[in-house]
Structure 1
Amino acid sequence: MNQDLIKHARVLIIDDQALAQTFLKKSLEKIGFDSIQIAESAKHALRLTDDILFDLIICSFNLSRDRDGYHLFEELKDKGAIKLNTTFIFTSAETDAALVNSVIELQPDDFLAKPFTSKELSERLLRVLKRKQKLNHIYQALDNQDFKGALAHIDDTLNNPKQTHLYPLVMRLKGDILLAQKDFATAARYFYDIITVQKFTWAMIGLAKAYLGLNKEEAGKAILDKLVKKPETRLAALDLLAQYYINHDEYDLAYQQFRNAKAISPRNIKRHQSVVNLARLLHDHSGQFEAAKTMLRFAKHSVHDTEDLYLTVARAGIDYALTLTEQESVNIAKQTDKYLATVKREFLHTAESKNKIAIVQARLHYIRDEQDKAKQLINSLELDKYGAISFEDYIDRAKAFHELGYQNEAVELLEEVPQVFDADDINGKIMAKFLTQETQEKRDIPFSPRQLNNIAVQLYNQKQIDAAMQAFKDALKLMPKNARIALNLLQVLVEQKQRQHLDEPQQALYWKAIEVINQNKLDTQQQTRYESLTARSEQYDVRHTNSA
């Protein structure tokens, strides 16, 4: 290793423990590093990297003063403070599975579990630095988006018999470049040739990606079905399986893959957002609210910690409250109030952001059955002057209009949403599907979920069985995981069954209600009611069979 390069390398230690700072500084000085700076927090590190491009960064993953190492790494990378030829090493006293998986997902150059010795640090560090030095020309080309130059340097390395120890790494880099260029045909041949010699896990993942890119999706899925069972490839395979299911409009299955991946590596905010978006698309309002709260918890103090993140949780809380009884929704409304209060307290507000907050506040008034206050607030907003600037703003305003009875205005607003979704982005695909679904539902169903259920109950009490059945059917469409709605629908269907035979669509609806009920944990009263309904249905079947 070139000692002169070590001497002049710019080093940053990021750790909030004084003993760790001293130990690392002395250990690095023994190796020969001369230019060493210390940051005791993420914010301090971000300030230092504003002026200096460091060659080596050693960062504690468990920073406690503001953001943790995961989100600091994200932010440093976003601002260009970490280049491919920057050596970045994480340290941590914790080695639980979720932390390790989060680190692996970021792909730093190394990870050292505390406590470690000066000798271990020196050996691991010098090994990484030597590799970085030998591949510097490749990394520089990649940082400059010069894929052609990077591939030329990689081929030179692969043709050099003295560099065999670098082959696995540069082979993987080559595959990543082919995928980044969307040259899926070449990538597929490349990865296939590799795994016929040695089944590197990264090559198997790469081949699956290439097949998905080529629309050879069944071949890609066959690989992923195997990789999802292996601990070292499970996370990447889950993400790709979710992509596969989204491409096939199997959103329930995609939802489950992302939820499983989120449990393995819980700090990835983009994945949390996918879970929130899929829950909303699938009308899993309870899951949407819980996922939004979890996303906020992991995004706290990070670059993702914004006004819109709190509004996402508040909006999800309102969506959930609308599926509950008025009494049940009180607690959710209180939680939503707290998130809204945080937005008002912790963020500066433009005229546009004040409008966003007002829309959420109006929807809260609606939940509390304060429709006059909600309408007064909506009508006081200068919506034309401060138009919605994001997808979520359009959606939230449309929901507010629809809930207050302005169905035409809601549909018109949804039809005005700019179609700016990235076809290659998973969340873009989900939101495009959600917009289509939301527009159709607002056009077809003029009532909120709570209104629908109340109307259906009234119709049932008035013995208008057919109308009640349709209302409960629409309610279940908007709340497909709601056991209370499913029980109400089942009761109407049993009444219909006893009046006359269920036709084929009604029979399908009957079994759908049963399925939803069985997927839920019922309270004692609901369980008794369910058993009574199914017993009545079975008694009718027995009588009908005997009479036939």
Structure 2
Amino acid sequence: MEKFPPVTPVDDLKALIIDNQGLVHDVVSNALKDAGILRVDSAFNAFHAIRLCDENVYDIVMIAFNVSSDKDGFHLFEELKHYQHITDKTTVVFLSAETSQALVNCIVELQPDDFWVKPLDKKRVTQRFQYLLNIRRKLHKLLCCLQNHDYSSAIYYAERQLTDKTVSEFHPRLKRIIGESYLALRDYNKAEAYFHDLLKQYDHAWIHIGLARALLRQHKMEEAESLLEDLLARDDTRFMTYDLLAQYYIEKEQFDKAYEQMREASKLAPRNIERNKRVWDLARLNHDKLGQLLAVQNMAKYAKNSIHDSPELTLNVLRTTVDVATSANGAEAEKLVKKVETDLIEFERQQGLDKELADQRAVLQARLLCLKNDKKSAEAIMKTKRPDTDGLSMEDNLDKMKAFHELGMREHCLSMLEKLHRQIAGDTFTSQVVDEYLKQESIERKEINFTTRELKEMAAVNYKENRFGPAYQNLKQALTLSPDNKQIALSLLKIMVQLNKKEPLNDAQIETAVKAAVLLSDDYLGPAQAAKRDEYVAQMNIAAQIQEKMTVSENLLS
């Protein structure tokens, strides 16, 4: 028979209150003492809280959102969980005077035992403590099973306690644990049936989410559609539903749809660094450079003073800004280059430069020199670099690969791509998204030898000299690298009108023209651009093909 550690007596429980307001400490500590908990520590900032957790094991932790200027409560909560100062057996209460939906969504993701809105009422606090301590005592064996990831035993103990009328007030929580345990065991068929039965009794958000997860894991999208529509309409389930859909589309390799869902989820719960990382990866895969920049800027913003904060994160913002500059026009590219140069000086001032950071900075400097058309100086830097990936992060290596490519050092570039495939092997999300991105990069770097900006400049020269065929190839490649760039699409149609005058377009060219015209079919086009689009479409007589393409796309989306 399985043995469990004994339940800790109430007077042996140890509590930690983390808040920057003395009044909160007074109210909560008095309520804890009324409940029989006498061992109470107080921390007025995150630094002190972490030091106390390093020295003690706490059974109860109270965390305020506004802890102090050194770290917000969300990141402190996340850090305490990461270092196992908070476990499944710890009773956690989150405190906040703010109740915005974005903050609530972020807190829900961390799954505290309770969320109290300040100002606190002593009588109410005492009642809630008694409630939480009862849960702790009654569910002791069950919580031990969850702590050990023994989900089969967790289901057994939860089902036993469901027959105990003295714990009827905890039944909804027990039922949730059973459903989530089925999902953790990957018994999706049983989970589906279980959540279906629960919906006959309750309308809790977690039941709907659990059912949706079970259906999507079995690829039952048709059965899940109406449920998903309802969940997206609810404030308490919307962002979790976006997460579910993103994962579903990733598994189906529909990365454009996964990107849309992940972006929406990130807007609703912006502090989640891992989700922003996924948005960043999906934006990269979908050639959305501005989306990449926004995601990595969010990561840097919300990671500040957290366990995710690092010099490399700041460096990644600079690298992504350079990526945007490679497809921008002359004036915009120049503005971005100046910003990176200024930010790089500040980065060096704050971080200093050890050998590793100095190497990474040199690669970034080479890319900046390429953008400034000083390829000779850039080559002098990159000729000292080898196409090795050892000891560097994926982002370090990607940046080096791009520098080699932008200088026409194709053998080094392709060698690094091959090594990068091996470097990221084994990571679940990366194997689904980043590996796909690397495959895409391998194809494009072999076939396309220039950046988007260089291809646009070459196309302009070729068009001016009436070399419409080469200009077409330049812009076709540019659109491959930047598939959402409407200016490139419009210029491509302009060139194809000239090609069509000399000789009727072939099937492949018509397909390219239709693709460009469909990109230009949304409502965000300016009047002048819309007029030009309509003029080019009429001259090439491809309106029917465009309508057919749009109808097919709409059917796929629905």
TM-score over 0.5 for the pair: yes
Deviation at 1:522, TM superposition (A): 5.6
Alignment of 1:303-452 (within 5 A): 303-347=307-351, 350-381=354-385, 384=388, 387-419=390-422, 421=424, 425-452=428-455
In structure 1, the partner of 2:503 is: 500
The answer on whether the counterparts of 1:217 and 1:244 sit within 8 Å (CA) in structure 2 is: no
Which of 117, 122, 128 in structure 2 is aligned with 1:118?
122
Larger deviation, residues 481-490 vs 268-277: 481-490
Give the Cα–Cα distance (whole angstroms) in 2 for the partners of residues 346 and 433 of structure 1: 35
Deviation at 1:213, TM superposition (A): 2.7
**Amino acid across the alignment from 2:535:** A
User: What is the number of equivalent residue pairs in this alignment?
Assistant: 536
Give the Cα–Cα distance (whole angstroms) in 2 for the partners of residues 47 and 337 of structure 1: 38
Which of 19, 22, 28 in structure 1 is aligned with 2:26?
22
Structure 1 unaligned residues grouped into runs of 5+: 543-548
Give the Cα–Cα distance (whole angstroms) in 2 for the partners of residues 428 and 72 of structure 1: 30
The answer on whether the counterparts of 2:32 and 2:129 sit within 8 Å (CA) in structure 1 is: no
1:290 aligns with 2:294: yes
1:104 aligns with 2:101: no
Give the Cα–Cα distance (whole angstroms) in 1 for the partners of residues 515 and 536 of structure 2: 18
The answer on whether the counterparts of 2:421 and 2:435 sit within 8 Å (CA) in structure 1 is: no
SS at match of 2:433: helix
Give the Cα–Cα distance (whole angstroms) in 2 for the partners of residues 539 and 153 of structure 1: 73
In structure 2, the partner of 1:531 is: 531
Which of 128, 132, 139 in structure 2 is aligned with 1:135?
139
Tell me the alpha carbon deviations over residues 207-263 of structure 1, each in whole angstroms, 9 at most, x when there is no partner: 222233334344345532332222221111110111122222222221111111111
Structure 2 unaligned residues grouped into runs of 5+: 1-6, 543-558
In structure 1, the partner of 2:548 is: none
Give the Cα–Cα distance (whole angstroms) in 1 for the partners of residues 312 and 30 of structure 2: 44
Larger deviation, residues 344-353 vs 111-120: 344-353
SS at match of 1:266: coil
Which of 87, 91, 98 in structure 2 is aligned with 1:87?
91
Deviation at 1:494, TM superposition (A): 1.8
Which of 216, 240, 243 in structure 1 is aligned with 2:244?
240
**Amino acid across the alignment from 1:416:** K
In structure 1, the partner of 2:14 is: 10
Give the Cα–Cα distance (whole angstroms) in 2 for the partners of residues 225 and 425 of structure 1: 28
The answer on whether the counterparts of 1:209 and 1:220 sit within 8 Å (CA) in structure 2 is: no
TM-score, normalised via structure 1 length:
0.91
Tell me the alpha carbon deviations over residues 336-356 of structure 1, each in whole angstroms, 9 at most, x when there is no partner: 335434543444755334322
Q: Structure 1 residues 244, 4: CA separation in 2 closer, same or farther (over 3 Å shift)?
A: closer
In structure 2, the partner of 1:475 is: 478
Tell me the alpha carbon deviations over residues 3-50 of structure 1, each in whole angstroms, 9 at most, x when there is no partner: 994433211111122333334333433443321111111121111111
Tell me the alpha carbon deviations over residues 138-192 of structure 1, each in whole angstroms, 9 at most, x when there is no partner: 1112212333332332222123233222221111112222222223233233323
The answer on whether the counterparts of 2:151 and 2:184 sit within 8 Å (CA) in structure 1 is: no
Identity %: 34
Give the Cα–Cα distance (whole angstroms) in 2 for the partners of residues 380 and 18 of structure 1: 58
Give the Cα–Cα distance (whole angstroms) in 1 for the partners of residues 28 and 134 of structure 2: 20
SS at match of 1:380: coil
In structure 2, the partner of 1:491 is: 494
The answer on whether the counterparts of 1:310 and 1:340 sit within 8 Å (CA) in structure 2 is: no
TM-score, normalised via structure 2 length:
0.89
Larger deviation, residues 507-516 vs 455-464: 507-516
Give the Cα–Cα distance (whole angstroms) in 1 for the partners of residues 398 and 182 of structure 2: 38
Deviation at 1:300, TM superposition (A): 1.1
Deviation at 1:371, TM superposition (A): 1.4
Give the Cα–Cα distance (whole angstroms) in 1 for the partners of residues 261 and 463 of structure 2: 39
The answer on whether the counterparts of 1:259 and 1:275 sit within 8 Å (CA) in structure 2 is: yes
**Amino acid across the alignment from 1:300:** K
